[in-house]
Amino acid sequence: MTTARPSAAAFASTGDMQAKTVSFDEIGKGLYAYTAEGDPNSGIIIGDDGCMVVDAQATPLMAEDVIARVRSVTDKPIRYVLLTHYHAVRVLGAAAYEGATIIASTGTRNLIVERGEQDKASEIGRFPRLFRGEGSIPAGLTWPHVTFDKSMSVWLGRREVKLMHLGRGHTAGDIVAYVPDENTVFSGDLVEYHSACYCGDGHFKDWQKTLDAVEMLGARALVPGRGAALAKPAQVGEAIALTRDFLTRLYGAAERAVAKGATLKEAMAMVREAMDTRFASFAIYEHCLPFNVSRAYDEARGIEHPVIWTAERDREMWAALQG
Ligand SMILES: [Zn+2]
């Protein structure tokens, strides 16, 4: 059965206080990746007359660091903030981008309406380090100004940014941002690189199809949701393959567990059996595992709509599976 691990002692990532080193890399003409060793990434797209920031960071204070990096490479205004999905670590920093238009999918807005408050409390409780300057978050939630169902183009002067909801995956509302003139994609958490995928709000079967659609873009470069920026096609392929393998092993084990009538705790052991040797070294692997197993087990049992995580349910699940 499960073995106790040192990282399993503290709830979720409450024991992770080690600050990460930020990298700010140019991955194409006027395209930058703000990455931090497995912490949530942001992307920057600079056009003729303004910029778009992809994912806002967790707090306005943390977003100020992104803005300072943008200012080191351009003085053009940040006109748009794209939210790839609704998770608090990506949206609650949006207030720092004063005057910017916030864009999200219709699906993301619906999730903010339905579970934004619970998600905010849950995420802050799970990973306090990721909410540095929590006091700078304004009251209430972050709301998009513009939403769309499937796709829309934003023109930064002559530069087109195609925003696409390619299907459900990490959440029901994920968007990718694609810049055709540099054949580069900003994938949000649909694709990760040497980081675990968080699947607690995921749709496993659809995620594989959505990954196919990301792959079909044939991007030269990709900024994942977590992990290093990928500036070569071979690395893009590797990241998509790793993400696919992660999801296949996780959901496959959950399906087998459900088929044989296993309990959730037994399903957790089967998932570890399928995944630990390959993925245990990935960032936030132990943090994600109980939430991932729980959601995979639910989907395999036919529960279509992910159950809302609350600060209370988080602790119960952790105690049951990682305690
Ligand atoms: Zn996310």
Asked if residue 1 belongs to a domain, the reply is no
Task: Find the 260 Cα to ligand 1 centroid distance in Å.
Answer: 31
Task: Find the 202 Cα to ligand 1 centroid distance in Å.
Answer: 9
Q: Is residue 6's pLDDT more than 80?
A: no
Q: What CATH code is carried by the domain that includes residue 230?
A: 3.60.15.10
Q: Is residue 184's pLDDT more than 80?
A: yes
pLDDT, tens digit, 9 for 90 and up, residues 56-82: 999 999 999 999 999 999 999 999 999
**Could you tell me whether strands 51-54 and 78-82 are parallel, antiparallel, or unpaired per DSSP bridges?**
parallel
CA distance 282 to 81: 29
Asked if residue 53 belongs to a domain, the reply is yes
Asked if residue 149 belongs to a domain, the reply is yes
Task: Find the 108 Cα to ligand 1 centroid distance in Å.
Answer: 11
pLDDT at site 129 = 87
Task: Find the 48 Cα to ligand 1 centroid distance in Å.
Answer: 30
Task: Find the 165 Cα to ligand 1 centroid distance in Å.
Answer: 15
Q: Is residue 9 very low, low, confident or very high in pLDDT (cuts 50, 70, 90)?
A: low
Domain extent, residue 74, equals 6-321
pLDDT, tens digit, 9 for 90 and up, residues 213-223: 999 999 999 99
Task: Find the 177 Cα to ligand 1 centroid distance in Å.
Answer: 15
Task: Find the 36 Cα to ligand 1 centroid distance in Å.
Answer: 15
pLDDT, tens digit, 9 for 90 and up, residues 239-261: 999 999 999 999 999 999 999 99
User: Which region among 16-25, 86-95, 262-271 has the lowest average model confidence (pLDDT)?
Assistant: 16-25
pLDDT at site 126 = 87
* Strand residues in the chain grouped as ranges (E): 23-28, 31-36, 39-46, 51-54, 78-82, 101-105, 146-148, 151-156, 159-164, 176-179, 184-188, 221-224
Number of domains in the chain: 1
Task: Find the 288 Cα to ligand 1 centroid distance in Å.
Answer: 11
Task: Find the 178 Cα to ligand 1 centroid distance in Å.
Answer: 18
3-state secondary structure of 61: helix
Asked if residue 37 belongs to a domain, the reply is yes
